[in-house]
Amino acid sequence: MSAIAAAIARTPLESWIARRLAVSEPSLTRESIARHQLKALQETVAWARNHSSFYAQRISALPAGLPASLREVSRLPFTSPEDLARHTTGFLCVPQHEIGRIVTLNSSGTSGGKEGDNLALKGMMSPGDHIVVSAIEHSAILSTCAWLEHLGCEVTRVGANGDASTYRISRGRCGEVTRVGANGDGQVEPDSVRRALRKNTRLISIMMANNETGVLQPVEEIGKIASEADVWFHTDAVQAAGKVPISVKSIGCDLLTISAHKIHGPQGAGALFVRRGTPLRPQLHGGRQKKGRRPGTENVAGIVGLGRASEIALGGLSDGSVLWMQALRDRLEAAILSLVPQTRINGKNAPRVPNTANVLFERVGGDALVMALDELGIAASRGAACTAGDADPSSVLMAMGLTGEQSRSGLRFSLGKMNTADDVERLISVLPGAVQHLREASQFFSTAPEAANG
């Protein structure tokens, strides 16, 4: 029996928590993923025992569903979903008067960042409204905007050079969607957002950190632009959470999305901060949970995991673990540029989260390199995990000015807090050979037909 299997088999409580616990932050080796799962499990079990008699003694006796309606449960510490959400407010530096404005998002396998983004956009937009987004947003934002477009929108795309082109899709009631491009470093220019505003602009949605390149966006400047124009502002902070400090007050946002699994919490849980007075319409109906903003039976286990993960992540910003990730990332990038010819770091000149490296490998198919590394025990991706298997070029890299072929040759390496220097050195030792092998194979197949004809 493996160490993890032995750990989760000890008690019904530990087994229950283990089933709820998952780690999705990409790591470099399968061994490091296993190490993190075991440590996260042990920490969660210890915390549950020390802080909540509800979980240690009564979990098996409670009926399923409606924990918020049980008077006995509401009196116990750390058991009410409303109380558990308070842990997240400290992580986001939420002002005291805004505590309680966290909408926890939880359901089996679907919730977190995507639900938060969908709720923020669909809950704020109405027919005739205009929204401004960037071309480098996560598919959760862009796909939601596409849904709005299908209702009939005039779409304006502002490219990286500031030029604007207008395409009338169809006549309808929805309103208008403006996509703002990024510069060559993958950063949205605030003036482009300002120029895109219109009289009927209702919402601006710009991510805090890009999920493919890790490039941080100037959300505080954009927040000021939104405030001056009296426009609501949403930011997707899923990729930034736990890696850089987040303050909803400093950003000036009205809505902010995070996901638990990106801070080593349980999958299927997340949160949407909603500033007091923001007229967010619920997209689900039939319950008064979370004051009607997101009705449905609370996933208490997911909320507990999110709250605890937020506490740990907040401590990680000052205990050196984030700087450790950055040191490993910088070591990896320097080695790749030194040992592998025809490579470059996408977004290198822009501020980035400390764990993400997006590398362009010229003359190498990104999907082929991902598979080659997987055979060597290395986990990497060509883009967002949500689009794994998609053969299309990266829309993020193309928005930065890369060609379609180059956009298919970019790889994302994401480091976690549990990665070690040995993990990075292992990758450095096998990567040059894998790239060289694929380049030689590519050259052979491209020249073989000519040789046959000759």
State the pLDDT at residue 39: 64
Please say if 174 is a catalytic residue: no
Across the beta sheet with 201-205, the strand order is 102-106, 269-274, 255-259, 232-236, 201-205, 129-134, 175-180, 153-158, 164-168
Widest distance between CA atoms in the chain: 84
Domain 67-316 falls in which CATH fold? Aspartate Aminotransferase; domain 2 (3.40.640)
User: What number of other Cβ atoms are within 10 A of residue 210's Cβ?
Assistant: 32
Alpha carbon distance 249, 325 (integer Å): 27
CB 332, CB 340: distance < 8 Å: no
Span 321-449 CATH architecture: Alpha-Beta Complex (3.90)
Crossing angle between the packed helical segments 12-20 and 30-51, to the nearest 10 degrees: 130
**Amino acid residing at 229:** A
For the chain, the domains span 3-57, 67-316, 321-449
pTM listed for this prediction:
0.77
**Tens-digit pLDDT profile for residues 256-307:** 999 999 999 888 888 888 898 999 988 877 766 666 667 777 777 787 788 8
CB 387, CB 434: distance < 8 Å: no
Instruction: List the one residue out of 421, 414, 430, 412 whose CA is nearest residue 372.
Output: 430
Tens-digit pLDDT string for the chain (454 aa): 444 444 444 444 444 444 444 444 444 555 555 555 556 656 655 565 555 544 444 434 434 443 444 333 334 343 445 555 556 666 777 776 665 555 555 433 337 899 999 999 999 998 888 889 998 999 999 888 888 777 665 555 544 434 433 333 333 455 567 778 788 899 999 999 999 899 989 999 999 999 999 999 999 999 999 999 999 999 999 999 999 999 999 999 999 999 999 999 888 888 888 898 999 988 877 766 666 667 777 777 787 788 888 888 888 898 999 999 999 999 999 999 999 999 999 999 999 999 999 999 999 999 999 999 999 999 999 876 665 556 788 989 998 999 999 999 999 999 998 899 999 999 999 999 999 999 998 765 455 454 434 3
CB 118, CB 273: distance < 8 Å: no
State the pLDDT at residue 268: 86
Q: Please provide the distance, in angstroms rounded to a whole number, between the alpha carbons at the two ends of the chain.
A: 60
Q: Are strands 201-205 and 129-134 parallel, antiparallel or unpaired?
A: parallel
Q: Is 272 helix (H, G, I), strand (E, B) or coil?
A: strand
Alpha carbon distance 50, 423 (integer Å): 33
Which H helix or E strand runs over 197?
none
Q: Is 232 helix (H, G, I), strand (E, B) or coil?
A: strand
Q: Is 384 helix (H, G, I), strand (E, B) or coil?
A: coil
- Do 67-316 and 321-449 come out as alike in CATH topology? no
**Tens-digit pLDDT profile for residues 214-258:** 999 999 999 999 999 999 999 999 999 999 999 999 999 999 999
Q: Which residues are bridge partners to 216 per DSSP? A: 209
Radius of gyration (C-alpha) of the chain in whole angstroms: 23
Crossing angle between the packed helical segments 366-375 and 421-453, to the nearest 10 degrees: 130
